[in-house]
Chains A and B, each alone.
Chain A
Amino acid sequence: GESVGLHLPTLSVQEGDNSIINCAYSNSASDYFIWYKQESGKGPQFIIDIRSNMDKRQGQRVTVLLNKTVKHLSLQIAATQPGDSAVYFCAEILTGGGNKLTFGTGTQLKVEL
């Protein structure tokens, strides 16, 4: 079946550095891609999304890049802070296919002081 994401890696960064979290997707028909942040004991929290007809979208301290040629999605976090420590999931959605999110396996981000 279709799947999104890589294995679950851990990314360690120093406070104040920029973080880049990557994700691969396989369903070229998906029309939205979303990044979620999940802290321990909590449900996923929306960070930012991007429509498939865009290649870049910026939010507050975050940027999502979409490369449809290689089916790659990335999340860039600027000036990473300790509060950014969490597991980050990419997800894709095919709105004509029932609105169900297909998640990647996630990346653990650890911010070192």
Chain B
Amino acid sequence: GAGVSQSPSNKVTEKGKDVELRCDPISGHTALYWYRQSLGQGLEFLIYFQGNSAPDKSGLPSDRFSAERTGGSVSTLTIQRTQQEDSAVYLCASSLLGRSYNEQFFGPGTRLTVL
């Protein structure tokens, strides 16, 4: 079956603009994760959704970042008033369940460049 898909693959925006990044998880996966990969910080956790539970937002770097997951499937990560330091690859992953360890499958990422 299809893996995790993300869109767009590349996004160039101007400082101060808002951007939305989309993630389509593997069908049937109840857990969805967002990570950010940047040169200075490596791969870092942003947010985690598990079923109908409240999301774990502990990794979001500022209140300019938000994410939602509609219908337990597709997720959108929104960055408001983008800054140059937001430039990074944003990776989405999904897994089965989530109460215990299950392999996380990653999408190809969205490369965000803030000019």
Cα A104 to Cα B108 in complex, Å, equals: 19
Whole-angstrom distance from the CB of B13 to the nearest CB of chain A?
20
Number of interface residues of B (CB under 8 A): 28
Whole-angstrom distance from the CB of A91 to the nearest CB of chain B?
8
**Of B63-71, B76-84, B98-106, which stretch is located at the interface?**
B98-106
Chain B 10-48: CB-based contact to A (< 8 A → 1; otherwise 0): 000000000000000000000101010000001111001
Q: Verify if B59 is at the interface (C-beta below 8 Å from A).
A: yes
Residues of A with C-beta under 8 A to B33: 99-101
Q: Among A41, A43, A98, A100, which residue has its beta carbon within 8 angstroms of that of B91? A: A43
Question: With A43-B108, A43-B109 in contact, do A100 and B48 touch (Cβ < 8 Å)?
Answer: yes
- Tell me whether B108 and A99 are in contact (CB under 8 A): no
Q: Verify if B4 is at the interface (C-beta below 8 Å from A).
A: yes
Chain A 37-62: CB-based contact to B (< 8 A → 1; otherwise 0): 00001111110010000000000000
Residues of A with C-beta under 8 A to B108: 41-43
Q: Verify if A95 is at the interface (C-beta below 8 Å from B).
A: yes
Cα A105 to Cα B109 in complex, Å, equals: 17
Question: With A95-B101, A99-B31, A99-B98 in contact, do A104 and B42 touch (Cβ < 8 Å)?
Answer: yes
Q: Verify if A89 is at the interface (C-beta below 8 Å from B).
A: yes
**Can you list 30 contacts pairing A with B, beta carbon distance less than 8 Å?**
A5-B42, A31-B101, A32-B101, A36-B106, A41-B108, A42-B109, A43-B4, A43-B107, A43-B108, A44-B43, A46-B103, A46-B104, A46-B105, A49-B101, A49-B103, A91-B43, A95-B100, A99-B33, A99-B48, A99-B98, A100-B58, A101-B33, A101-B35, A101-B45, A101-B104, A102-B45, A103-B42, A103-B43, A105-B42, A106-B42
Q: Which residues of B contact A (CB under 8 A)?
A: 4, 31, 33, 35, 42-45, 48, 50, 56, 58-59, 91, 93, 95, 98-109
Q: Which residues of A contact B (CB under 8 A)?
A: 5, 31-32, 34, 36, 41-46, 49, 89, 91, 93, 95, 98-106
